[in-house]
A and B are shown apart, each in its own frame.
Chain A
Amino acid sequence: GAVVSQHPSWVICKSGTSVKIECRSLDFQATTMFWYRQFPKQSLMLMATSNEGSKATYEQGVEKDKFLINHASLTLSTLTVTSAHPEDSSFYICSAREDIGSRGYNEQFFGPGTRLTVL
């Protein structure tokens, strides 16, 4: 099946610094990628939809200046948490949707997640 990778798998940073998380579709092209946040023992909350070549669409309540999303190519989207604070500590998961091919129109393939801890 389609594979989505995330890097890094975990990161620890100091408060006030910025952290970049990469999401790559390894064997397919994805015009659309999604970024989710998951708090401990809770469900996934969609943060934003990342569109290749255009601005991301953020969900209500998500600060776009805080969580910068760049979708520079059909296989790469990045999420940058700017000026991170301890409350940003969470599990961030990306997914990618293949827009062409025989895999299925609206199936998303999820990355393994990135654990962010802000001290």
Chain B
Amino acid sequence: AQSVTQLDSHVSVSEGTPVLLRCNYSSSYSPSLFWYVQHPNKGLQLLLKYTSAATLVKGINGFEAEFKKSETSFHLTKPSAHMSDAAEYFCVVSKTGGFKTIFGAGTRLFVKA
């Protein structure tokens, strides 16, 4: 069985400060992990993915995430927040090579000027 938990329903940061969005997962299999971003009334955009290669994954727009098997975590970070980063972020887990994806509940990121 697989599950994913996003530890914060919302995160608020000031522009120019670091961003940390937390995600823990549970998987009976070798997982693939993803972070997606969704702006209001828009579809989802893939930020980055982990598929059993390098544990530190760099994505678009300066985001990166580190896969930590011992902690079953895949936290998303960015050194310096920008106003345009304000959106909903979803952590997603699937079985590597498998079909079904499980979405986390989402974390709303607010960026203050």
Interface residues of A (CB under 8 A from B): 6, 32, 34, 41-46, 49, 91, 93, 97, 104-113, 115
Known: A104-B49, A106-B97, A106-B98. A43 touches B43 (CB 8 A): no
Chain A residues touching B, majority SS: strand
**B interface residues, how many (CB within 8 angstroms):** 25
The reply to whether B106 and A93 contact each other, CB–CB distance below 8 Å, is no
A-B interface pairs (CB < 8 A), number? 53
> In the complex, which residues of chain B have a beta carbon less than 8 angstroms from the beta carbon of A42?
105-106
Partner of B94, one of A41, A43, A106: A106
Min Cβ gap A87→B in Å is 20
**Interface residues of B, Cβ cutoff 8 Å to A:** 32, 34, 36, 41-46, 49, 51, 90, 94-101, 103-106, 108
Identity of the chain B residue whose Cβ is nearest the Cβ of A107 in the assembled complex: B49
Q: Is the CB of A110 within 8 A of B96?
A: no
Residues of chain A within 8 A of B41, CB atoms compared: 91, 113, 115
* Closest Cβ neighbor of B105 among chain A residues: A43
Measured between beta carbons, the chain B residues less than 8 angstroms from A49 are 99-100
**Chain A residues whose CB sits within 8 angstroms of the CB of B49 once the complex forms:** 104, 107
Contact flag A43-B104 (CB < 8 Å), given A49-B99, A106-B97, A107-B49 = yes
B96 partner residues in chain A, CB cutoff 8 A = 105-106
Distance, CA A85 to CA B67, complexed state (A): 43
Residues of B within 8 A of A108 (CB): 101
- CB-CB under 8 A from A43, the residues of chain B are 90, 103-106
